């Protein structure tokens, strides 16, 4: 104990900062709980004493850390014990001072606080066994006595449990102390051993000077006579084994020519793989050999200098592998895939052997990745790669070229296109089947499908990028066809790509050319049947395209980034129009809200909050009349960042709804953590109310959740009387849908308001 006294007391003072602070915090909590339930004067006097003692103990910690040489170890120990004993006695008095006779809840709180202090003391005082024993006895014994004084079976039982707890804490404290002491002893022994080893190593180096390379010498009979330490090290062989070893007996004869060269009076060299004799280690070595000559210049043997280059070669091979393989799934990457496609093009030109590629994209992967997190998404990609390996042929190549996009190269399909297509389709069917089985990731069960596009070599002039592009186009056609299917590339698919590019270019001038228009769908209050507002819906009137609907051009606007400019225009136009309606129908209709859809790109943009605030001020709209509709894809970045951004919108007075509620993966968790005001039930649930019992129950559950969280609920897609009556019975707040009106241009919407100025007649 004396040997390690300094370390033990040092550890005790290191823990004193936390323990004294903990004592003060516990005392404060105790005062807060018991104030006005016991004698307040005694309580405050006690609090003053314990706070003073805690402060003095904290001050002693600061003094010790600043100048521990001010007193002897024994004196520091006395100071420590003094503060500990006083603090322990003060807490030990609490059962007698603050035992609220008629309140079991306060009694339980007192027991919990004392028990917590005792448990914390075992950890913080573990380096001083006597200190922790005194602490435990002083703090728990009075509690046991007080409980026994109640003289009932219940209190006696609790007293007995506290007594057992005291015995357990004393035992644990003893074990803590033993472990800590053992650590100190081990540390001291380690330092001593390390010093002895250092002395021994220095002596060894003075006797045996080591070179940084392995060196060995052998005679003309190829018998080894001398080796240095480095040579023995990398072979992991002893000097006894190596001296007198006949090099003719080496099992790996790849190095023999370079060993023979010095005996023929020439330099030798070998670099490559080598398997050692002693431990059969598989190494990469670089070896130079030179002749050994006597004073008459006669060859008397050879000397070899060997370097173990295994790590360098393995690193080089690893870099080469990483350059050609996907880091996540360890399958081929785009670079390696293009090389292999180029080789197959050459084979096609020479032998007319048709090959194809399957372009695979997981359906709705972004929803999984965004809602469940990138870790789950990454694991899904890894498992997908493993499954694809199980169904492809040996000669096929599977590659990941980005995100959730995989490509399977299918060489040697056939010499005739019809047979090639049949073989490729058979492989595609295997892929659909293997992916249809559920994926197990952590505690999640995921059901995944994929859209596949297949393209074949058409002529020798096609490049690898051309073939990949054709397969990609076919894959998008499979997605358009409803996903979870396979499409073969046809040249007419190029028209779809051209249309997409034309739409994107047209959208760039849509705002400037005043081609965009807003339609408004009324929002009706179930309780009053009154029109209370509208949702603004974007339309594009352009002479360049036929039948271009929002479902087609809005995703293109989002992918191209044009949604930022368009979204700002929509927000400004909708708010300006809403204010005009309010002025026109003042005293006739109380219009309360205008709902505007916000894309993930808009919401994440750094200027979004400023734009919203600026447009509100510019249009003079009452902020509470604006409701921004967000979909889950706008919420999947760092939840803290999203919450902060949403709270700033709420601080402006703006309402926020979660659109298409119930279709995502994590909506319920968002309700608790994010400041929404409104839920919008997706029309896919509403439309099947009359036929699907599950949808009825789901809507009922959503409405119950909304009531719990005090949310308003808007049901979208209400088209029939049966849907209306069911939702009204369930006390849904608002409705939208063709049952009252389709989305209307501004002038028609104004006529709708005039016609239904009192209430809407269903």
Residue with tokens 């790996």: 252
**Whole-angstrom distance, CA of residue 496 vs CA of residue 405:** 20
Tokens of 367: 């929803």
Q: Do domains 329-491 and 503-755 have the same CATH topology?
A: no
Q: 685 and 719 in contact (C-beta within 8 Å)? A: no
If one compares 183 and 529, the residue with the highest pLDDT of the two is: 529
Q: What residues contact 357, with CB distance under 8 A and at least 6 apart?
A: 341, 407, 408, 409, 410, 454, 455, 467, 468, 471
Q: Which CATH superfamily is domain 503-755 in?
A: EAL domain (3.20.20.450)
**Whole-angstrom distance, CA of residue 358 vs CA of residue 450:** 11
**Whole-angstrom distance, CA of residue 91 vs CA of residue 134:** 13
Strand partners for 299? 293
Q: 283 and 274 in contact (C-beta within 8 Å)? A: yes
CA dihedral of residues 219, 224, 226, 232 (deg, nearest 10): 150
Average of per-residue pLDDT across 51-64: 83
At residue 743, the 3 state secondary structure works out as: coil
* 742: Cα within 13 Å, side-chain hemisphere: 1
Confidence of residue 664 (pLDDT cuts 50, 70, 90): low
**Whole-angstrom distance, CA of residue 284 vs CA of residue 513:** 69
DSSP output for 400-463 = EEETTEEEEEEEEEESSHHHHHHHHHHHHHHHHHHHHSPEEETTEEE---EEEEEEE--STT--
If one compares 6 and 310, the residue with the highest pLDDT of the two is: 310
Tokens of 704: 């119950």
Tokens of 561: 């980034």
pLDDT at 203: 44
β-strands 299-308, 444-446: how paired? unpaired
H or E element that contains 376: helix 374-391
Q: What are the angstrom distances between the C-alpha of 40 and each of 33, 445, 736?
A: 12, 58, 61
If one compares 421 and 268, the residue with the highest pLDDT of the two is: 268
If one compares 550 and 543, the residue with the highest pLDDT of the two is: 550
Residue with tokens 């007391």: 9
Q: What residues contact 651, with CB distance under 8 A and at least 6 apart?
A: none
Q: Which of 155-169, 537-551, 626-640, 721-735 has the lowest mean pLDDT?
A: 626-640
CA 521 to chain CA centroid, nearest Å:
39
pLDDT > 90: percent of the chain:
38
Tokens of 406: 């995989």
What ranges make up the beta strands (E) of 228-281? Answer: 268-275
Q: What are the angstrom distances between the C-alpha of 755 and each of 143, 497, 530, 758?
A: 78, 45, 12, 8
**Whole-angstrom distance, CA of residue 597 vs CA of residue 465:** 38
pLDDT digits (tens, 9 = 90+) for 175-226: 777 777 777 777 777 666 555 545 454 543 443 346 678 899 999 999 999 9
Q: Which of 47-56, 683-692, 747-756 has the lowest mean pLDDT?
A: 683-692
**Whole-angstrom distance, CA of residue 525 vs CA of residue 519:** 20
**Whole-angstrom distance, CA of residue 654 vs CA of residue 575:** 12
pLDDT at 301: 94
Q: What are the angstrom distances between the C-alpha of 441 and each of 361, 368, 438, 447, 687?
A: 19, 12, 10, 11, 33
Residue 259: exposed, middle, or buried by beta-carbon count in 10 A (0-12, 13-18, 19+)? buried
Q: In what order do the strands lie in the sheet with 282-293?
A: 224-227, 214-219, 299-308, 282-293, 268-275
Confidence of residue 638 (pLDDT cuts 50, 70, 90): low
* 365: Cα within 13 Å, side-chain hemisphere: 23
Q: What angle do CA 347, 350, 351 make, to 5 degrees?
A: 80
Confidence of residue 119 (pLDDT cuts 50, 70, 90): confident
- What are the boundaries of each domain within the chain? 5-187, 214-313, 329-491, 503-755
Identify the DSSP state of 210.
P
Per-residue b or e along 419-439, where b marks 16 or more CB atoms closer than 10 Å to that residue's CB: ebbebbbebbeebbeebeeeb
**Whole-angstrom distance, CA of residue 203 vs CA of residue 198:** 9
**Whole-angstrom distance, CA of residue 476 vs CA of residue 171:** 69
Identify the DSSP state of 625.
G
Q: In what order do the strands lie in the sheet with 450-456?
A: 397-402, 405-414, 354-362, 450-456, 486-488
Smallest Cα–Cα separation from 357: which of 446, 433, 450, 421? Answer: 421
* Mean per-residue pLDDT of the chain: 86
pLDDT > 70: percent of the chain:
93
Q: 20 and 61 in contact (C-beta within 8 Å)? A: yes
pLDDT at 288 over 90: yes
pLDDT digits (tens, 9 = 90+) for 570-608: 999 999 999 999 999 998 899 999 999 999 889 989 899
Confidence of residue 1 (pLDDT cuts 50, 70, 90): very low
Q: Which CATH architecture has domain 329-491?
A: 2-Layer Sandwich (3.30)
Average of per-residue pLDDT across 543-562: 82
Q: What residues contact 99, with CB distance under 8 A and at least 6 apart?
A: 107, 110, 146
If one compares 181 and 103, the residue with the highest pLDDT of the two is: 103
* 281: Cα within 13 Å, side-chain hemisphere: 14
Q: Which CATH architecture has domain 214-313?
A: 2-Layer Sandwich (3.30)
Q: What residues contact 96, with CB distance under 8 A and at least 6 apart?
A: 142, 146
Residue with tokens 């297509």: 421
**Whole-angstrom distance, CA of residue 142 vs CA of residue 399:** 72
Q: How far apart are the first and last CA of the chain?
A: 91
Q: 634 and 604 in contact (C-beta within 8 Å)? A: yes
Q: What are the angstrom distances between the C-alpha of 353 and each of 345, 349, 419?
A: 9, 8, 11
Average of per-residue pLDDT across 451-470: 87
**Whole-angstrom distance, CA of residue 633 vs CA of residue 8:** 56
């Amino acid at each position: 104990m004396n040997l390690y006294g300094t370390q033990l007391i040092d550890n005790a003072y290191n823990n004193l900062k936390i323990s004294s602070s903990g004592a003060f915090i516990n005392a404060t909590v105790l005062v807060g709980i018991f104030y006005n339930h016991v004698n307040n004067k005694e309580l405050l006097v006690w609090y003053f004493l314990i706070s003073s003692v805690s402060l003095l103990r904290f001050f002693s910690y600061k003094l010790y850390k600043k100048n521990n040489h001010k007193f002897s170890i024994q004196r520091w120990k006395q100071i420590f014990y003094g503060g500990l004993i006083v603090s322990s006695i003060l807490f030990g008095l609490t059962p007698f001072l603050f035992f609220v006779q008629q309140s079991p809840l306060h009694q339980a709180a007192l027991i919990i606080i004392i028990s917590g202090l005792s448990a914390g003391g075992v950890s913080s005082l573990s380096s001083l066994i006597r200190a922790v024993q005194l602490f435990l006895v002083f703090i728990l014994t009075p509690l046991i006595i007080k409980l026994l004084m109640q003289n009932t079976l219940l209190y006696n039982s609790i007293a007995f449990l506290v007594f057992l707890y005291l015995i357990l804490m004393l035992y644990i404290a003893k074990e803590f102390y033993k472990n800590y002491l053992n650590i100190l002893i081990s540390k001291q022994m380690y330092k001593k051993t390390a010093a002895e080893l250092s002395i021994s190593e220095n002596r060894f180096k003075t006797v045996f000077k080591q070179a940084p390379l392995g060196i060995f010498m052998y005679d003309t009979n190829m018998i080894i006579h001398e080796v240095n330490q480095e040579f023995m090290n990398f072979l992991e062989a002893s000097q006894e084994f190596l001296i007198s070893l006949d090099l003719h007996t080496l099992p790996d004869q790849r190095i023999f020519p370079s060993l023979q060269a010095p005996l023929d009076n020439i330099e030798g060299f070998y670099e490559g793989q080598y398997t050692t004799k002693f431990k059969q280690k598989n190494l990469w070595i670089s070896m130079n050999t030179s002749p050994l000559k006597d004073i008459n210049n006669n060859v008397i043997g050879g000397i070899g200098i060997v370097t173990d280059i295994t790590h360098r070669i393995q690193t080089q091979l690893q870099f080469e592998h990483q350059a050609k393989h996907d880091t996540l799934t360890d399958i081929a990457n785009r670079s390696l895939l293009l090389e292999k496609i180029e080789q197959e093009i050459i084979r096609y030109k020479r032998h007319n052997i048709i090959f194809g590629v399957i372009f695979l994209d997981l359906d709705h992967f972004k929803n999984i990745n965004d809602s469940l997190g990138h870790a789950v998404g990454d694991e899904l990609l890894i498992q997908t790669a493993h499954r694809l390996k199980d169904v492809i042929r040996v000669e096929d190549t599977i590659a990941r070229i980005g995100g959730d996009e995989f490509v399977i190269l299918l060489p040697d399909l056939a010499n005739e296109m019809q047979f090639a297509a049949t073989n490729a389709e058979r492989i595609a069917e295997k892929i659909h089947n293997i992916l249809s089985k559920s994926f197990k990731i952590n505690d999640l069960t995921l059901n995944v499908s994929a859209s596949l596009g297949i393209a074949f070599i058409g002529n020798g002039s096609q490049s690898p990028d051309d073939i990949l592009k054709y397969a990609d186009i076919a894959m998008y056609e499979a997605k358009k066809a409803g996903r979870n299917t396979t499409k073969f590339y046809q040249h007419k698919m190029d028209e779809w790509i051209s249309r997409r590019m034309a739409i994107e270019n047209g959208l760039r001038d849509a705002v400037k050319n005043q081609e965009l228009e807003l339609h408004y769908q009324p929002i009706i209050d179930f309780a009053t049947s009154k029109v209370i507002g509208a949702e603004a819906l974007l339309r594009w009137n352009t002479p360049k395209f036929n039948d271009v609907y929002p479902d087609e051009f809005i995703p293109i606007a989002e992918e191209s980034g044009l949604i930022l400019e368009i979204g700002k225009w929509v927000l400004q136009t909708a708010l300006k129009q809403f204010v005009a309606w309010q002025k026109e129908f003042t005293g006739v209709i109380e219009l309360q809200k205008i709902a505007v859809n916000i894309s993930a790109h808009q919401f994440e943009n750094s200027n979004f909050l400023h734009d919203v605030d600026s447009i509100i001020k510019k249009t003079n709209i009452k902020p509470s009349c604006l409701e921004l509709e967000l979909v889950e894809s706008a919420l999947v970045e760092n939840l803290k960042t999203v919450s902060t951004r949403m709270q700033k919108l709420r601080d402006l007075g703006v309402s926020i709804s979660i659109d298409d509620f119930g279709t995502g993966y994590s909506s319920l968790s968002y309700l608790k953590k994010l400041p929404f005001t409104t839920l919008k039930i997706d029309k896919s649930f509403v439309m099947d109310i009359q036929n699907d019992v599950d949808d009825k129950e789901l809507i009922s559950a959503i409405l119950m959740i909304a009531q719990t969280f005090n949310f308003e609920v808007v049901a979208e897609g209400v088209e029939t009387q049966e849907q209306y009556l069911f939702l009204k019975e369930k006390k849904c707040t608002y409705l939208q849908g063709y049952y009252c009106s389709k989305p209307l241009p501004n002038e028609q919407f104004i006529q709708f308001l005039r016609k239904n100025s009192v209430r809407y007649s269903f």
